[in-house]
Structure 1
Amino acid sequence: MTRLFNDPAAFADEMTEGFADAAARWVQRVPGGVVRATAADEPTVALVVGGGSGHYPAFGGLVGPGLAHGAAMGNLFASPSAQQVYSVAKAADQGRGVLLSYGNYAGDVLHFTQAQDRLNAEGHDVRTVLVTDDVWSAPADQQEKRRGIAGDLVVFKIAGAAAEAGMDLDDVERLARHANARTRSFGVAFGGCTMPGADAPLFEVPKGRMAVGLGIHGEPGIDEVDIPTAEGLAEMFVAKLLEELPDGVTVAGSRVVPLLNGLGSVKSEELFVVYRTVHRLLDEAGATVVEPEVGELCTSFDMAGCSLTLLWLDDELERLWAAPADSHGYRKGAVAPQRRVEVHVDEEDAQLPIGPASEASRALGDVIASALADVAQALDDAADELGRIDRVAGDGDHGIGMQRGSHAARDAGRRASEAGAGAQTVLAHAAEAWSDKAGGTSGAIWAEILKTVGTALTDDEAVTAQRVADGVRAASDAVRAFGKAEVGDKTMVDAIVPFAETLSAEVAAGRRLGDAWAAATDAAEAAARSTADLVATLGRARSHGEKSIGTPDPGAVSFALVCRTVHRAFVDAPATT
């Protein structure tokens, strides 16, 4: 369990601050994460990596010569926000382009893609390579759906070495994709990790049993078996990974890099006992082992587990794998001396402007700010339960993420309201804060909801029930387009669609907003409860299939809870006929 913390909600920020102080030889802190503290004499392509915190040395620990140029560091097990990625990538760019690389998780894809689009629009040349090494998370013919786990290090190392060698962005991207295509991983766990402040692990494994095919965010395993001996585990690892070889690879005569990764609580001595057999089995299969790695390479807090990654080399990949690298969390060989640099980030006020607003819109802005405070309190009260239902087939952080986002939205909305903002601006400030502090898929989606509803309300025109209904319907459409989910996929969409449709129908029938909102909330709550009968088909719960049956979707449940809380604030809202 995690024993040392102050405020659990501040853990990631405090950890990042302490890491940057401890690793000042390699990194310097910028808004959103860290970038290198040194630079080569000539500019290079910038490799920017990132993801949720809790995986050290990924991701900040892999910033340094021969590896990444920057790392966007999100909250615990939650993707960094688009603003964080944008800030880090912009600070790291040396004028030769930026390669973004990260594990293939929905929240990361949403936020990194938003940041990439923004940077490209500003004239930066930005590309992306997703890491998809986890063989258990999707079948071989759907590799694009696979998660990124310890194979992150492989892709980052190859791309970083290519950039350090002076290659252009086309070649750095090509080699990162090539490395990903030749990397396969498989992980197991004997017990789940415990988040700071939590009183129970994200998942538990029965005594004497082992979860097979787990992710690195506390997702439970896809299968469960008896714990084997160290030799038996090595045999399981190698047999599974030799079942699926990359195109063009034959085991006999190949050169392979094994990475045996501890996930947090399995110690180096245990890993060496396992690796003894891994090495022997690869040798007996006819492969030549090249520069293996054994240790903590991509962790999951204090998870008791480990994973094996195989990188199948060719001449080009072998040269890059052997190239020197120097970072706080991973070192190889001796890098050439580099000059110390200090990145100066433009600290101009990043807050959205607050323009003029009508009296009615300012009054509604006050109501919205009050409602956001109520929402934050309601989510505080429900956080443990939301986490519990998320642990069944997900990573258990939904309650924490909703707390972080709603707290930030509450504070930003209050500041905007007190400054005289209208309804649209209050919601825009709340949306930006929710996304930035929560990160993850839910952070991106809730930001989209608040921003879209705000656009419909405006700051100057009269606020009517019809405007509210139109805004909610537009938000529902935006969420579906944003996350690509539809009704029946067991996501928040299962609740937001009936809410929007019912609200529109009730308003069209002439009902007052408070009454229409209450009816729509009833529909959302019923829909959220009914998700218990569905099988998850999207998000992190997708790979756990049948395990999600009997438990409602946490995103749908929290959406309905927010709607019920907001209803009380809207009953007496001004000018909403």
Structure 2
Amino acid sequence: MTRLFNDPAAFADEALAGFVAAHRRWVRPVTGGVVRAGGTPAGQVAVVIGGGSGHYPAFSGLVGAGLAHGAAVGNVFASPSAQQIRTVAKAADGGAGVLLMFGNYAGDVLHFGQAADRLTAEGVRAETFAVTDDISSAPAAEHTKRRGIAGDLPVFKAASAAAEAGLPLDEVIAVAAHANARTRSFGIAFSGCTLPGAGQPLFTVPEGRMAVGLGIHGEPGIGEEALPSADRAAELLVASLLNELPDGVDAPRGRRAAVILNGLGSVKYEELFVVYHRVAQLLEEAGVTAVEPEVGELVTSFDMAGVSLTLTWLDERLETLWTAPADTPAYRKGAVAAPTEPAAAAEPAEGAETEDVIPDATPASRQAAETAAAALRVIAATVEEHADALGRIDAVAGDGDHGIGMLRGATAADTAARTAHERGAGAGTVLHRAADAWADRAGGTSGALWGTILHAVGDALGDTERPTAATVSAGVTRACDEVRRIGGAQVGDKTMVDVLVPFADTLAVETAAGARTAAAWDRAATAATTAAAATADLLPQMGRARPHAEKSLGTPDAGAHSLALIVRAVHGVLTDTTGEN
């Protein structure tokens, strides 16, 4: 377990600060992550990678010459927010565009996509690319649904080396796609990981057993087997990867491959070498030449005891990119020019934010802002009360961090809402500030979706008019539409959408029938509670829980359950502030 920490909520920030203090020769801090100490050469495509904390040396440890130009770092096991990614990308931009790269997880897809949209609107061309190397997370026919694990490294490396060689953005993207298409990974674990401050691991493996096909966020494996010897583990890993060859690789014999045997946190280097001894034999017997293999901790998961094997099937171009020199805090090969010492530790102008100005608001909207701030305060208290239970629900088939992420987001939103209200903001601005704070602090899928919900309701309320039942309902309906648009989920997929849709629909029907705000909200909250309970009978079709669908039967979706708890709690605020029963 993770033993050395102060406040668990501050763990990721403190870890990043310590990392920077130890590696100033390579990196300098910017809001949301790090960039190369010497900056990006003018005219060079900037490769910005990122993801949640808890995976070192991914992602900050891979910033430096020959590899990434910057890394956006989120909270523990949570994607960085769109704002964090945007800030890092602007600081890394060398004028030739930015390629944002990440593992294929819902939160990362949402936040990196939003960041790319914002950057493009600001005149910085930005494209996204998700790595999909884990063969256990989806069948080959659905390879776009696969998650990214240790195969992140060879794909990041290929794209970064292409950028270092001066290729334009479109060609760098093509290189990333080619490397990803030829990369496959598979992992096993013997115990789960424990997050800072948590009293128990995200998942457990029975004594004498191993989880097969695990994820790097503590997602349970797709099956269990008896605990193997080192040789048997190597045989399982190699056989699994040789059983699925990429298009263009007809047979392994005569092929060359980049090989990564990755330790996930608690398996020591000597153990890895024992496993790799057999891996090397098996690959040689299959006629595969291992090119500059890597054995060590490259993408970790705190204290998880496990290993994964990655093969990237090389052609002449990919081999050149794989063997190209790199010099980063955690990954080095060959010889590159010495990094330039940073001129100062201060953040660059690109990372500076504009002056914080509260828009004008009418007295009616400021009064409504008091209700909005009270609702955010109750939301934060409700999430805090249920955070542990939400984590346990999420851990059944996911990674168990839903409660932690929701608590970070709701607490930040509460603080932002209170501050904006005290400065005289209207209802719309209070909700917008809360939305930005929630998304920025929580990261992950829930951060992106709750930021979207609060923004949409804030748009409907605005800063001038006194909110009516109709405007509140319109805002919730808009929020529902936006969540479905950006998240891609539909009713029946076992997500928060299964609650948000009936809540929004019931609110709209009751409001149209003439019900006042609190009464309409009461009936909608009841519909939400019923819908949340019904998700226990569904199989997840999206997100990290999808590969473990059967395990979640009988358990409601954590996001759906938290939404139902929140809307019920908000009803109490509406009753108190409007005087309705």
TM bin, normalised by shorter chain, reads over 0.9
SS state of the match for residue 47, structure 1? strand
Q: How far apart are the structure 2 equivalents of 1:220 and 1:574?
A: 46
How far did 1:167 drift?
2.1
Deviations 1:34-76 (A, max 9, x none): 0000257664211100000100000000000110000000010
Partner of 2:534: 530
User: How many angstroms does 1:476 deviate by?
Assistant: 1.1
The residue that corresponds to 2:187 in the other structure is 187
- Structure 1 counterpart of 2:432: 428
Equivalent position amino acid for 1:486 in 2:
Q
Instruction: Give the structure 2 partner of residue 71 of structure 1.
Output: 71
The alignment covers a number of residue pairs equal to 577
**Residue 166 of structure 2: aligned partner:** 166
- Runs of 5+ unmatched residues, structure 1: none
Corresponding position of 2:376: 372
The Cα of 1:365 is off from its aligned counterpart by 0.4
Distance of 1:196 and 1:572 partners within structure 2: 38
Structure 2 counterparts to residues 42-121 of structure 1, below 5 A: 43-121=43-121
Does the CA-based 8 Å contact 1:192-1:304 persist in structure 2?
yes
Distance 1:364 1:503 in 2: 19
Distance 1:161 1:394 in 2: 34
Counterpart position of 1:229: 229
After TM superposition, the structure 1 stretch with the greater mean CA deviation from structure 2, 506-515 or 401-410, is 506-515
What residue in structure 2 maps to residue 27 of structure 1?
Answer: 27
2:238 and 2:288 mapped to 1: Cα distance?
Answer: 12
1:300-356 deviation digits (Å, cap 9, x = unpaired)? 111111100001111111111111111111111221234334561346545764222
Query: Aligned pair in 2 of structure 1 residues 413, 63: CA closer, same or farther (>3 Å)?
Result: same
C-alpha separation between the residues in 2 aligned to 1:54 and 1:67?
20
| Identity value in percent | 63
Distance 1:378 1:345 in 2: 39
- Which residue of structure 2 aligns with residue 261 of structure 1? 262
SS at structure 2 position matched to 1:173:
helix
What SS does the corresponding residue of 2:576 show, helix, strand or coil?
coil
Q: Distance in 1 between matches of 2:527 and 2:579?
A: 25
Q: Do the aligned partners of residues 575 and 522 (structure 1) sit closer, same or farther apart at CA in structure 2, a change above 3 Å counting? A: closer
The letter for the 2-side match of 1:568 is G
Paired amino acid for 2:301? S
Structure 1 CA distance for aligned equivalents of residues 300 and 543 of structure 2 = 21
What SS does structure 1 have at the residue aligned with 2:349?
A: coil
Q: Deviation of residue 512 (structure 1)?
A: 2.1
Aligned pair partner of 1:414 in 410, 415, 418: 418
Residue 290 of structure 1 corresponds to: 291
Flag structure 2 segments of 5+ consecutive residues without an equivalent.
none
In the alignment, the residues of structure 2 paired with residue 548 and residue 168 of structure 1 have an alpha-carbon distance, to the nearest angstrom, of 45
TM-score, structure 1 as length reference: 0.98
d(CA) in 1 for partners of 2:573, 2:557 = 25
- Alignment match, 2:6: 6
1:161 partner letter: A
Aligned to 1:291, what secondary structure does the other structure show? strand
Aligned counterparts of 1:370 and 1:438: Cα–Cα separation in 2: 20
Inter-partner Cα distance in structure 2 for 1:574 and 1:460: 19
Deviates more, 1:211-220 or 1:349-358: 349-358
Deviation string 1:398-417 (CA, Å, 9 cap, x unpaired) is: 00000000011000000100
- Is the Cα–Cα contact under 8 Å of residues 367 and 570 in structure 1 kept in the other structure? yes
**Cα gap change, 1:352 to 1:146, in 2 (>3 Å):** farther
In the alignment, what sits opposite 2:155? 155
Report the residue type matching 2:48 in the other structure: V
Deviation at 1:469, TM superposition (A): 1.2
Aligned AA (2:284): D
Can you list the C-alpha shifts for 1:107-143, whole angstroms capped at 9, x where unaligned? 1000001111111122222222211000011111111
The residue identity in structure 2 corresponding to 1:359 is P
Q: Distance in 2 between matches of 1:498 and 1:195?
A: 34
Contact 2:26 2:339 in 1 (8 A): no
Q: Deviations over 1:11-40 (max 9, x none)?
A: 111111111111111100000100000257
Q: Do the aligned partners of 1:46 and 1:99 also contact (CA within 8 Å) in 2?
A: yes
Tell me whether 1:399 sits opposite 2:400 in the alignment: no
